[in-house]
Structure 1
Amino acid sequence: MKRIETAMYDQLSLLSGRANPALAREIAGYLGVEMAAVAIGDFPDGELSIRLEQNIRGRDVFIVQPTSPPVNDHLMELLILIDACKRASAERITCVIPYFGYARQDRKDAGRVPITSKLVANLITKAGADRVLTVDLHAAQIQGFFDVPVDHLYAAPVIDQYFQSLELDPEQIVVMSPDEGSIKRALQHVDKLGGSLVIIDKRRANAMETKQANLIGGPIEGKTVFIFDDMIATAGSICGAARVAKQHGASNVFVTATHGVLCGPAPERLAEAPISEIVVTNSIALKPEQQLPNLKTITIAPLLGEAIRRIHRNESVSYLFA
């Protein structure tokens, strides 16, 4: 990994909760800084015990903590870390949230339901965050729920770079959108990888089940199909799309997502699906039971590290949004 050689990090402190300390260490390695010491434990009744073990007064603090499962535990840990930094007189607090949980309820689409994304954004802001850095929000409009600046990065360039390294023939590539809502994302990958676009006509049966009804576009027989999504949660939709691709004669199916949530039956579904390779980023730390033989994890530490470097030095971050 490239290491930034600079003497301009005297006032930067990077610390991590327990959600993804490995990613935080990679970011520290990219920046060439030491992780700030934090003691995190649990009281016998389950309450969190957090103490900063070094001085951060007047410093530019970056807290790395995705709100991944267990979401409530990691979210509460983030809020307490923010409060601890605020009370320790940090000059500025930036929450680095590679995966933002509670992103599904971003609007009131039925009677008597909350807009939980806005509630969580309020909690983070009121706790004392001055800025948020995140990657591939489930809905881009969630940026507007925060009353502080939000830098919203995309992992697509990192993922495309990996697939470009495979040196596949663009004429043999088909990018498949798993639903109508992902067409824009799929088109961006077509621009980088080449090939053609096909779309799955997905119908939702209920909150847990979807049905892949039809394939729009084609043909895909004998071609390598790439299916891109922002996250793989229970993997029902993505596995259904992979089966449709195989039924229409695809030779290989690659499935990729920024966030490998892989909850519930996801590992079993992915293991049984006709997928050549599953590619996710390390925005979420995977447990041993979530690891699969055909699962590859690529790092977004340089992407986040470069954003942190630019935020700290008050430089433009906009080119990283592409």
Structure 2
Amino acid sequence: MKIISGTGHRALAERIAAAAGVELCEVDITRFPDGEIFVKIVDNVRGDDLFIVQSVSIEPNNYLMELLIMIDAAKRASADRITAVLPYYGYARQDRKDQPRVPITAKLVATLLEAAGADRVLCCDLHAQQIQGFFDVPVDHLYASPVIVKYLRSYNLDDLVVVSPDAGGLKMADAYSKLLGAGIALVGKQRKSAEDVEANHLVGDVKGRNTLLVDDMTSTAGTLTAAAKLLEKAGAKSIRAAVSHSLLTQKGIDRLINSSIDELVTTDTVPQREWDDFNVTVLSVAGILAEAICRIHNDQSVSSLFRVDK
């Protein structure tokens, strides 16, 4: 078993390798003057079970192309099996054709990964479950919830209500509510643009209760802050938010600072900036990903990783 990393999130790859008890293989990744990417796997990987770690975030076009080239280099270096490890799957929000003449880019990414030579895929908290069906190779889909729930339980919050900020996240909210032994509520929203959201309806009782907004990702924080405003108006005692992937823009950061959200709990699936102006807790998914990698290598079940220890 060997692990290599792209430049998308090397810090996470190093944590994964350490947790798996191996060292990262050496890879030279450089750019030609015109921007073309050059990859050379320095260590010998012939006949190895190779795991390539790359978060396709922040600069998704750059890091996706880098991942495809690394997979091709590994294939031509005669690696026995190549697993693409994507802590964050870029383009996952474009998972369906919801208007005329638009692509299903999440499917295109799946096709590209397979064409490059990936034998299987390991990912965390896909934006839509059906993306697994876009692949004709095995997909191991992990969740950040065991890490996030373990942290939230340390608060021992009474009268907790898990809130889905939109209808699409209701299944995730239901899963969190069961794990935390909490109630559940739903916010109805209307998206005005890619960055602006209006929350108009709240289903559920949150008055005088601690609330937790859960979502798989946030970038401009429009959905979270609009929902938080509605919860505050409904008399919520406290408001926290938990998201698996935090891709916050400056606009999103400003919105959180000016919102009624007390804390944002997220993970290190994507690189995180230094937070001095808002209460953010970043939890690591390196342990879960490392355990999954070891189990895949040893042909063991990964289903036990979905359990949340009491």
Matching residue of 2:256: 270
Matching residue of 2:49: 60
CA RMSD across the alignment? 1.3
Matching residue of 1:138: 127
Supply the distance in 2 between the matched residues of 1:41 and 1:90 (Cα, whole angstroms): 22
1:280 to 236, 245, 266: 266
Supply the distance in 1 between the matched residues of 2:291 and 2:182 (Cα, whole angstroms): 30
- Equivalence map 1:1-322=2 (5 Å): 12-169=1-158, 172-218=159-205, 220-263=206-249, 265-288=251-274, 292-321=277-306
How many residue pairs match? The answer is 307
Describe the superposition over 1:178-233 as per-residue Cα deviations: whole angstroms up to 9, x where unpaired. Answer: 01111111111111112211111111223332210011110x22221100000012
Structure 1 segments unaligned to the other structure (5+ residues):
1-11
| TM superposition shift of 1:276 | 0.9
* Counterpart contact for 2:146–2:306, Cα < 8 Å: no
Matching residue of 1:7: none
Letter in 2 for 1:55: N
Question: Following superposition, which runs of at least 4 residues in structure 1 exceed 6 angstroms of deviation?
Answer: none
Matching residue of 1:5: none
Cα distance change of structure 1 residues 292 and 64 upon mapping to structure 2, 3 Å threshold:
farther
* Counterpart contact for 2:88–2:245, Cα < 8 Å: yes
Supply the distance in 2 between the matched residues of 1:164 and 1:198 (Cα, whole angstroms): 19
| TM superposition shift of 1:49 | 1.9
Q: TM-score, normalised by structure 2?
A: 0.96
The secondary structure found in structure 2 opposite 1:228 is strand
| TM superposition shift of 1:98 | 0.6
* Counterpart contact for 1:37–1:54, Cα < 8 Å: yes
Supply the distance in 2 between the matched residues of 1:109 and 1:213 (Cα, whole angstroms): 22
* Counterpart contact for 2:256–2:278, Cα < 8 Å: no
Supply the distance in 1 between the matched residues of 2:41 and 2:276 (Cα, whole angstroms): 33
| TM superposition shift of 1:271 | 1.4
The secondary structure found in structure 1 opposite 2:101 is coil
Structure 1 window deviating more from structure 2 (291-300 vs 45-54): it is 291-300
The secondary structure found in structure 1 opposite 2:220 is coil
* Counterpart contact for 1:15–1:38, Cα < 8 Å: yes
* Counterpart contact for 1:152–1:321, Cα < 8 Å: no
Supply the distance in 1 between the matched residues of 2:163 and 2:93 (Cα, whole angstroms): 22
* Counterpart contact for 2:188–2:201, Cα < 8 Å: yes
Structure 2 segments unaligned to the other structure (5+ residues):
none
Supply the distance in 2 between the matched residues of 1:157 and 1:54 (Cα, whole angstroms): 34
* Counterpart contact for 1:103–1:116, Cα < 8 Å: yes
| TM superposition shift of 1:313 | 0.3
Describe the superposition over 1:65-111 as per-residue Cα deviations: whole angstroms up to 9, x where unpaired. Answer: 01101000010110011011111110000000010011122122222
| TM superposition shift of 1:282 | 0.4
Supply the distance in 1 between the matched residues of 2:171 and 2:56 (Cα, whole angstroms): 26
Describe the superposition over 1:34-59 as per-residue Cα deviations: whole angstroms up to 9, x where unpaired. Answer: 11001112111111121111111100
Supply the distance in 2 between the matched residues of 1:50 and 1:291 (Cα, whole angstroms): 36
| TM superposition shift of 1:263 | 2.8
